[in-house]
A = this chain, B = another copy of it.
Amino acid sequence: MDYQKYVQMLKAMADPNRLKIIDLLSCGSLCACDILEHFDFSQPTLSHHMKVLQNAGIVAARKEGKWQHYTLQAEFMATFKQDTAQLLSSDDQCVCHDVTCTACASGKVVVTNEKN
């Protein structure tokens, strides 16, 4: 998986306001002014947050007249779930395969690395 891209998604999501924006968009598209109504911060701040979400590939923007419509990227929803599952599983591509535990190898403790 694309480690760097996954971290960028996590960083973009790791803000309570941006997480709420994602939640608001989970049912469909919304324009900026409607999103803004749910928050206390200023309009430029929302503009900043939307740019962060776009750069992370989470949100797509489409302009129609005066309004800027935002939608969750389908690819993000799929990729993020997939990357998360892979991170928390110990499959063949896991980085932990060449890892040993010094304490365990010394025979002084009972803890064992399940993969060795």
Q: Which residues of A contact B (CB under 8 A)?
A: 3-4, 6-7, 10-11, 13-16, 19-20, 22-31, 33-34, 38, 62, 64-65, 67, 69, 72, 77, 80-81, 84-85, 87-90, 94-97, 99-103, 108-116
Residues of the B chain whose Cβ atoms lie less than 8 Å from the Cβ of A108: 65
Closest to A71 in B: B111
11 contacts between A and B (CB under 8 A): A3-B20, A7-B19, A22-B87, A23-B95, A26-B87, A27-B114, A28-B114, A34-B103, A38-B99, A65-B109, A67-B109
Number of copies of this chain in the oligomer? 2
- Contact assessment for B95 and A88 in the assembled complex, using a CB-CB cutoff below 8 Å: no
